[in-house]
Structure 1
Amino acid sequence: MKPISKPLSLIGILLTTQAFAAEEEEAVKLPDVVVSADFRPSTAEKTAVSLTEIDKETIESRGAQHLEEVLGLAPNVNLSSGASRGQFFQIRGMGATSQFSAPLNPSVGLVIDGVDFSRTGGAATLFDIDSIEILRGPQGTKFGTNGLAGTINMRSKEPTKEFSLRAESGLAEYNTRNFGVAVGGTLVEDKLLGRASIYSHKSDGYMNNDFLNRDNTQNQDELTFRGKLRLLASDDFTVDLGYTHLNIDNGYDAFTFDNSRNSLSDHPGQDKQLTNAFALNTNWQVSDAVIVQSTATYLKSDIVYSYDADWGYVGQFDPALGPYIGFERFDRHRENYSLELRALSDKAGRIFNDTTDWTVGLFFLDQDEAFKQNSDFGIFGATLRNGDYNTQNTSIYSQLDTHLTDKLTLITGGRIEYFKARYSDSNALNIGQDEGLFGGKVGLNYQVNQDHFIYSTLSRGYKSGGVNNNAALPVNRLGFDSEYNVTAEVGVKSNWFDKRLKTALAAFYTDRRNAQVENSIANGVQFLEFTGNASSATHQGVEASLDWFLTDNLRMLGSLGLLDATFDKHSFNGVNYDGRQVAHAPKYTFNLGSEYYMNDAWTLRANVEGKDGFYFSDSNNSKSSAYAIVNASADYKHGHYKVRLWVRNLLDKDYATRGFFFGNNPANSYAAEKYVQFAEPRVAGITVSYDY
């Protein structure tokens, strides 16, 4: 057997699969995987970072429509819902878990085809996505303030000279139906390549609203269009233009008093966005010594996020306990643009006696968010507010890769960033911030031989301060300071048995200072959330993976993450949380799967993945339960056609992706209780595709 020509997924943490053709004369091997985790593309096993790459075959084998449905394959990675999708991400216990009125201050960057979507996780739809790279640990040198905990980098399929066509249609439970087409190839011989895709995903969702007698108040209605052009202007100069259009019109009706999937809300919410994003990239081989690259991006999003805040209906309980008219809506208009100019050395441009590759760059990002809040909590008051939050990030960065010997390389990189922010609203709240930030890394890489790579890094990540915009908060809660961490990491990546087995192992220790943590104050049905600075926290752990062809037909895949992320010093409302695990930081995450290639036509896959229980918040001790879920699929391929049967969460396990602990039930005198939002139940479907 031999692999198909396209590289498979990562060795770093989870390696997923592609179908193989049977040829007994040649033993199967796992090919190298090219990733873009650093300034220069490299193979995963020679990249000095703990990472997971999830390829398109894995995405398709699950019938996955959004990043939330594959993120469980990556160790020490978690997500939070609080919306129609799990769109708030945490890596090694760091990351935002929700957003209400205040501007989002992410710790995990989300980059889609070069555009920064870090504040808009609902945009991570998956059709025609070729790979997902999940980088763990500070990425300050390359990605700046959004890379404090790590970065998720999604790349759609690139244009090629050869004509290609993919058509896909699927049906699944809960009235789920999908259809998409992608086409690409040469537009002008030897000059212009192109690719375009369009995809529609619709589902009634997984909630029943008993009051309205509807089963689609948590529906999914997502349209994605992607377009790419590549101009081969000359042998030395290329231009890439990318465009993404998203029209998402999802419902949001997730929370109930009895923690069930049966809602009683009379005003179900919405989770909508209309997004247009552009990215223009150039690559110029100036000479044998220097390469110059530039990137310009623009993103515009109109977003609606609303929910029935009381989760009930008027007259549901005794009016003496308070009328049920709670509702809250946030309209956001986001407009971002960025400019980046970078120069890299080629082989003839090495410095310091031809030992050192260099990179230097300039970066500017402007983000503006205008918002409107319309809240009505009945006897507890109403809020109508308009505001604007504008931030600007200006950075300079550089990196040196010094080859001390043929096998030993010293990496030194740094980034200096100036952050400027202005917030104002119709409640006469005005907050300004200006600060200098810096991060970087020092590392040693040792290529023992062609099969074994050892690395060590000491890196500093950072994240700018931010704003709490609720005027009901004390004055000292209206802003919070910047956060930084220092992380030491060592890792080894290896090939065994003539590349039939690939393994990766990383251990890390993070000293987190001035940690930004989400807190909350409950006041009846009013839920006041804010971000503050804890004193410090320590995050340490291990990440391991394997990808192994036990035979030419049987492949085993696995990953394990162990995480101890605890507060060194943190208290809230007089409660001491010293030594407690931080929120959304399960102590273990795991994945174990297998793939069986029966013959040229049939491929079977199954995996089990799960995680330990975790705290929902840094301001109370409410926790989720530990869980494990099973996913499976069976493919039949005939010529250009493929039929795939798939099921996610085969055993129909209930598990939570978001939780609160506060009083929201007047029938219980607003006593504080735990309320959770469930992930999807068992969902099975069929997908038929045609590839040419």
Structure 2
Amino acid sequence: MKTPLLLSSIALSATSLTALAASPTAVNGQITDATQPTEVNGAIIDATQKSNAAQLDTVSVTADFRQLDLMQIPSSITVVGEDDIQNRNADHLESVLSLAPNVNFASGASRARFFQIRGIGERSQFIDPVNPSVGLIIDGIDMTGLGGAATLFDIEQVEILRGPQGTAFGANALAGAINIKSKQPTKETEGYVQGKIGNYNTQNLGAAISGSLTDNVQARFAINQIKSDGYMENIHLNKDDTNNIDELVARAQLAWQVNENNDLNISLLKTDINNGYDAFSLDNNRNTYSDQPGEDSQDTSAVSVKFASRNNQNFTLEITASSSNSDIVYAYDDDWSFGQYDEAISGDCISPNNNCLETDSGSYGYSAYDEYSRTYKRSNIDIRIISTTNSRVFKDSTSWILGVYNLDRDETLTRNYKYIPTTFNSTLKQNSFAVYGELTTQLSSINSVKYGLRAEEWSNEYQNSNALKSNESEYLWGGKATLESLISPNHLAYVSLSRGYKAGGVNSNTDINESKRSFDAEINNTLETGFKSDFFEEKLKTQLAIFYIERKEQQVKSSYSKETTPPSFQEFIANAAEGKNYGLELESEWELNNYLTWTASAGYLKTEFTDYSYIDEDNNLINKNNREQAHSPEYSLASSLNIDFGNQLSLDIEVEAKDSFYFSNSHDEQSDSYKLIHASIQYTLSNLKLSLNGHNLTNEDYAVRGFFFGNDPRFNENDENYIPTNYVQYGSPRLVSITARYDF
């Protein structure tokens, strides 16, 4: 663990620091802020808030280390609970993200792997290492950039935190973070089995069991198998399962109350994902012509451990750590067809307009296969002390937290490209050492202020088989200051100013200009004001947030294609001088009466490059000033109505909508706006619950990823030139399934 002098000196000046958990593995802790010694509805609050908190239903947010109620946290957060997951019949995180305003995802694989919050986030990864903008945490384990593992069986809740989380998560939460928490061990024995069948040969079978092993040790175990043929048909191979889903995920938790002052929690995660990948079509439909369908697999073994000690009367000690190993294979048929084909092989021209063009050699196209095999090794440790009522400062008005954090990441890549057989290798070693702190000061009976800082040394050591080497380190810092006011018993107002950051790096592609070789750290300054309210005796809850983001040295993924055979698709990361993102988010839940509950969310987002231009490989000036940023729909909407008919029968009807958005920062192709309708009906009889579910009932085609380049040999006028075309990957079509669950 490194302890540079600069960071050590910052640690010593902790009276100017603010407080959040530093580590993604620390978000599941049970230790609350000692300035709030009274417990109400599972949250620790002070005497001035007792009557207010008692009037609010508790939705505890574990990504906030205090584990306060959602309505008490001065930040824009969406919590998707177990009921929401079941009503949506959701198997994976991508199926519930639309419930959160201003949140989007990019697929480009069998599942959503990359996420965007308020227009900020990555969309893909090929040979270059990626510094993510959105953190993904699963039971305290850092799975950032590995979204395929975000399955939702036996999940208690999904927490989506919008805005920079630099003080809590460091460099990997520039835009926000997504925290997934499994159901926890129970003292009483309980469990369930669940099965689902649906169209596209969908099968889902899982089981969970929980209970006490001894008087002070509880455990929980869950396992789930998901299978589906997928939603594409391969015409050339006459198969309907080349884009299939085959996922096995197991989780285990152990909770040990060592004694009255010490607790130990252990979480284990194992994934065995063997999905196919054959999602893009030359005709932009669900029919492919690939002769070498790809794969999207992930084999992960991971563990997180948390130890909490309350032995000292002046502070509580928390130590959290996690370790994971993941083997990933991402591969696809590069030509999306059956290669060097002619009319004798293909029969009639497969173009709908019968306009195939023959090359001089009498054949069409090319044949290539691209495979990226990565191994990820990650480990981190977070040590922090939390003040008690005995150690408050500034006349007992201020509580504090101090901590240190260390992260190590190793990533190795082997790329096999089968056109002219080539192999590319690279290794990346990253280390982060950080100190952090927080002060929370009670200004009056209704007003308080939180202010903080996190200082981080981030280092990258990179080399590849093209003789490129880079060894760089930089000092980064972020923080957040929040003023909150409980202006009435059921109304919380706040304003915050935060600074997030993301480390710089190096582009590994040696075909790009030397001037594009490296890129700098990105800084995100966000001003947010919000209002959380509870009306009509807890019947209606609302959250409103308005934000403005100033992006400095914005990292943007740019690309260009060369008209060659096969098409050369070059990508690199560059810094835009400046950008801005602003908008609002509104969420509500309204219990209209004993039979009707209405929930709704709405996001409005405006994004803009205020200064971004670059020179492409043909020496053309590409100017993107005033253009919207990629994967940033202007509006996102979701609404659901739950009808309880009594006699154990209920109905859920949902609508979600999203505006069009640019697929990339390097071209101007856009998705279409869309609206989806979902419905589910549930019947409960004693311990048995049956549900009939329908997703995308109107069977609308909507894009979740898009590329723009030439790849279609049928429109090839000679051996070298391909006509650039917008190619899209579609989200799931109409899905109908029946689910049965038995609790014991």
Which of 726, 729, 741 is residue 677 of structure 1 equivalent to? 729
**C-alpha contact (below 8 Å) 1:460/1:485 kept by paired residues:** yes
Q: Secondary structure at the match of 1:259?
A: coil
For residues 497-527 of structure 1, the C-alpha deviation after alignment (integer angstroms, 9 at most, x for no partner) is 0000000100000000100011112023221
Which of 382, 387, 391 is residue 340 of structure 1 equivalent to? 382
For residues 536-566 of structure 1, the C-alpha deviation after alignment (integer angstroms, 9 at most, x for no partner) is 1000000001100111110010010000011
Q: In the alignment, which residue of structure 1 is the partner of 2:517?
A: 478
Report how far residue 481 of structure 1 moved: 0.9
Q: In the alignment, which residue of structure 1 is the partner of 2:301?
A: 276
Alignment of 1:30-429 (within 5 A): 31-189=57-215, 191-317=216-342, 318=358, 320=361, 323-377=365-419, 381-429=420-468
Q: Amino acid of the residue matched to residue 221 of structure 1?
A: D
Q: Distance in 2 between matches of 1:667 and 1:210?
A: 16
Report how far residue 450 of structure 1 moved: 2.4
Consecutive aligned runs of 4 or more in structure 1 exceeding 3 Å deviation: 317-323
Q: In the alignment, which residue of structure 2 is the partner of 1:541?
A: 583
Q: In the alignment, which residue of structure 1 is the partner of 2:25?
A: none
Report how far residue 296 of structure 1 moved: 1.0
Which of 703, 719, 734 is residue 656 of structure 1 equivalent to? 703
Q: Secondary structure at the match of 2:549?
A: strand
Which of 668, 683, 688 is residue 636 of structure 1 equivalent to? 683
Stretch deviating more after TM superposition (248-257 or 312-321): 312-321
Q: Amino acid of the residue matched to residue 334 of structure 1?
A: Y
Report how far residue 352 of structure 1 moved: 1.2
Q: Amino acid of the residue matched to residue 625 of structure 2?
A: D
Q: Amino acid of the residue matched to residue 230 of structure 2?
A: G
**C-alpha contact (below 8 Å) 2:198/2:738 kept by paired residues:** yes
For residues 170-219 of structure 1, the C-alpha deviation after alignment (integer angstroms, 9 at most, x for no partner) is 10110000110100110011x21000000000000000000000000000
Q: In the alignment, which residue of structure 2 is the partner of 1:5?
A: none
Q: Amino acid of the residue matched to residue 155 of structure 1?
A: K
Report how far residue 382 of structure 1 moved: 4.1
Q: Amino acid of the residue matched to residue 293 of structure 2?
A: P
Q: Amino acid of the residue matched to residue 405 of structure 2?
A: F
Q: Secondary structure at the match of 1:119?
A: coil
For residues 391-422 of structure 1, the C-alpha deviation after alignment (integer angstroms, 9 at most, x for no partner) is 00111111111111111011101100000011
Report how far residue 641 of structure 1 moved: 0.7
Q: Amino acid of the residue matched to residue 98 of structure 1?
A: S
**C-alpha contact (below 8 Å) 1:39/1:142 kept by paired residues:** no
For residues 305-359 of structure 1, the C-alpha deviation after alignment (integer angstroms, 9 at most, x for no partner) is 0000110113335454764211100110110000110111223332211111111
**C-alpha contact (below 8 Å) 2:426/2:465 kept by paired residues:** yes
Q: In the alignment, which residue of structure 2 is the partner of 1:597?
A: 644
Q: Secondary structure at the match of 2:646?
A: coil
Q: Amino acid of the residue matched to residue 183 of structure 2?
A: K
Matched, 1:580 2:627: yes
Q: Distance in 1 between matches of 2:486 and 2:313?
A: 26
Q: Secondary structure at the match of 1:68?
A: helix
Q: Distance in 1 between matches of 2:512 and 2:247?
A: 36
Q: Distance in 1 between matches of 2:297 and 2:523?
A: 33
Q: Percent identity?
A: 41
Q: Secondary structure at the match of 1:629?
A: strand
- Tell me: CA distance 1:37–1:47, structure 2 relative to 1, closer, same or farther (3 Å): farther
Which of 533, 538, 545 is residue 499 of structure 1 equivalent to? 538
Q: TM-score, normalised by structure 1?
A: 0.94
Q: Distance in 2 between matches of 1:479 and 1:305?
A: 25
Q: Distance in 1 between matches of 2:364 and 2:171?
A: 44
Q: Amino acid of the residue matched to residue 140 of structure 1?
A: G
Q: Amino acid of the residue matched to residue 618 of structure 1?
A: N
Q: Distance in 1 between matches of 2:79 and 2:260?
A: 31
For residues 614-646 of structure 1, the C-alpha deviation after alignment (integer angstroms, 9 at most, x for no partner) is 000001100000011011101100111100111
**C-alpha contact (below 8 Å) 2:657/2:673 kept by paired residues:** yes
**C-alpha contact (below 8 Å) 2:364/2:714 kept by paired residues:** no
In structure 2, runs of 5+ residues without a counterpart are: 1-54, 343-357, 717-721
**C-alpha contact (below 8 Å) 2:159/2:178 kept by paired residues:** yes
Matched, 1:627 2:674: yes
Q: In the alignment, which residue of structure 1 is the partner of 2:38?
A: none
In structure 1, runs of 5+ residues without a counterpart are: 1-28
**C-alpha contact (below 8 Å) 2:638/2:655 kept by paired residues:** yes
Q: In the alignment, which residue of structure 2 is the partner of 1:453?
A: 492
Stretch deviating more after TM superposition (118-127 or 261-270): 118-127
Report how far residue 385 of structure 1 moved: 1.4
Report how far residue 600 of structure 1 moved: 4.2
Q: Distance in 1 between matches of 2:690 and 2:591?
A: 24
- Tell me: CA distance 1:124–1:465, structure 2 relative to 1, closer, same or farther (3 Å): same
Q: TM-score, normalised by structure 2?
A: 0.87
Matched, 1:570 2:612: yes
**C-alpha contact (below 8 Å) 2:82/2:156 kept by paired residues:** yes
Q: Distance in 1 between matches of 2:641 and 2:402?
A: 43
Q: In the alignment, which residue of structure 1 is the partner of 2:351?
A: none
Q: Distance in 2 between matches of 1:376 and 1:638?
A: 56
Q: Secondary structure at the match of 2:580?
A: strand
Stretch deviating more after TM superposition (661-670 or 149-158): 661-670
Q: Distance in 1 between matches of 2:531 and 2:340?
A: 62
For residues 110-136 of structure 1, the C-alpha deviation after alignment (integer angstroms, 9 at most, x for no partner) is 011111111211110111111000000
Q: Amino acid of the residue matched to residue 711 of structure 2?
A: N
Q: In the alignment, which residue of structure 2 is the partner of 1:440?
A: 479
For residues 210-253 of structure 1, the C-alpha deviation after alignment (integer angstroms, 9 at most, x for no partner) is 00000000000000000010111001100001100000000000
Report how far residue 667 of structure 1 moved: 2.4
Report how far residue 464 of structure 1 moved: 0.4
**C-alpha contact (below 8 Å) 2:365/2:712 kept by paired residues:** no
Q: Distance in 2 between matches of 1:600 and 1:437?
A: 58
For residues 574-600 of structure 1, the C-alpha deviation after alignment (integer angstroms, 9 at most, x for no partner) is 222111110000000011111011114
Q: Distance in 1 between matches of 2:58 and 2:640?
A: 20
**C-alpha contact (below 8 Å) 2:339/2:368 kept by paired residues:** no
**C-alpha contact (below 8 Å) 1:30/1:501 kept by paired residues:** no
Matched, 1:518 2:560: no
Q: Distance in 2 between matches of 1:52 and 1:625?
A: 26
**C-alpha contact (below 8 Å) 1:460/1:484 kept by paired residues:** yes
Q: Amino acid of the residue matched to residue 412 of structure 1?
A: Y
Which of 502, 527, 530 is residue 572 of structure 2 equivalent to? 530
